[in-house]
Amino acid sequence: MNAAARPAPGNAADADAAAATETSHGLLTADGLDFRYGALPVFTEVSLSIRRREIVALLGGSGCGKSTLLRVLAGLESPSAGQVRFLDQPLERPHPRSALIFQHASLLPWLRVEANAAFGLDFRHQPAIAAGVRQSRVREALAAVGLAGREHAWPAELSGGQAQRVALARALAREPELLFADEPFSALDAITRAEMQNLLVDVVHRWHAAVLLVTHDIDEAILVADRILLMGGRPGGILAEWTVDVPRPREDHPGAVTALRLEILAALRDTFTQATAGVD
């Protein structure tokens, strides 16, 4: 789907029509991915797919290869074997219809909030957009993350949570089909993190975007995701998968959340046991 055909944020009817034209293969598919750093095999035989507008959490212990897999799926690294397809095309570099957010907002200190949120929209590989459209996209994204009125602030004047809101707005301004989020809230305090988790779900639903969220936090995965993939093993692989069919807001269903949490925790413990088996 090209930029012009993309539904405007909030236009659910258009989005449904667009979704109906999507192939059955999903927005992103990965087939038989291996990745190694030199002699170190990080993961092997990873196959997965992400559907349009789906929020997928990639959960696993430290060092199991989550960030590396995200980087391969985002086109930042090439797999040692296997293939990633995005919008039915082989992915060779980051796609202009995808966006990334990381643990740190990485704002440019010499640019005001609005310019930071617009950063990257003019890059050569981005679809060309008129200045007026560009500004309205950026303003809309900043308003959606609760920063209307702060467009002229400097990054140094922002809290960590506000800086991460700018990073999220910068991603939304690209109108991504798929947002890659690598532990985006792990540096925030618990209350801000909970706010940002709810905000992420709210805005990606409004933007009709899919998300791949890398996290080591089971609660975050359950609160945010439609589907959870558990990564583990040495080398890493996808070991288990859950569809989260707890209604939103999930905080209102503590019994169902706790039951799923215990199930995932048991599986996560098994991955550690397997990973350390035979290690003195």
Structure tokens at 65: 């290869």
Only one of the segments 57-65, 164-172, 187-195, 256-264 lies at the binding site for ligand ATP (rule: CB under 6 A); that segment is 57-65
Q: Between the CA of residue 34 and those of 42, 44, 50, 219, what are the distances in Å?
A: 8, 4, 18, 29
Tokens 């994204």 sit on residue: 141
Out of 57, 59, 64, 145, name the contact with ligand ATP by CB under 6 A: 64
Out of 44, 68, 162, 197, name the contact with ligand ATP by CB under 6 A: 68
Q: Shortest distance, CB of residue 73 to ligand ATP, whole angstroms?
A: 12
Out of 7, 26, 65, 184, name the contact with ligand ATP by CB under 6 A: 65
Question: Containing H/E element for 181?
Answer: strand 178-182
Cβ atoms 102, 184 nearer than 8 A = yes
How many Cα atoms are found within 13 Å in the side-chain-facing hemisphere of 201?
18
- Residue 76 within binding range of ligand ATP, rule CB under 6 A: no
Out of 18, 28, 33, 42, name the contact with ligand ATP by CB under 6 A: 42
The sheet with strand 40-50 has its strands ordered as 40-50, 28-37, 81-86, 89-90
Q: Which of residues 209-268 bind ligand ATP (CB under 6 A)?
A: 216
Q: Shortest distance, CB of residue 172 to ligand ATP, whole angstroms?
A: 24
Residue partners of 182: CB distance under 8 A and separation at least 6:
66, 67, 70, 100, 101, 102, 103, 214
Only one of the segments 24-32, 65-73, 113-121, 249-257 lies at the binding site for ligand ATP (rule: CB under 6 A); that segment is 65-73
Only one of the segments 20-28, 61-69, 144-152, 172-180 lies at the binding site for ligand ATP (rule: CB under 6 A); that segment is 61-69
Q: Shortest distance, CB of residue 214 to ligand ATP, whole angstroms?
A: 6
- Residue 272 within binding range of ligand ATP, rule CB under 6 A: no
Q: Shortest distance, CB of residue 40 to ligand ATP, whole angstroms?
A: 6
Out of 37, 88, 154, 262, name the contact with ligand ATP by CB under 6 A: 37
Cβ atoms 138, 180 nearer than 8 A = no
Q: Between the CA of residue 116 and those of 11, 70, 112, 141, 164, what are the distances in Å?
A: 26, 24, 6, 12, 11
Binding residues for ligand ATP (CB under 6 A): 37, 40, 42, 60, 62-68, 216
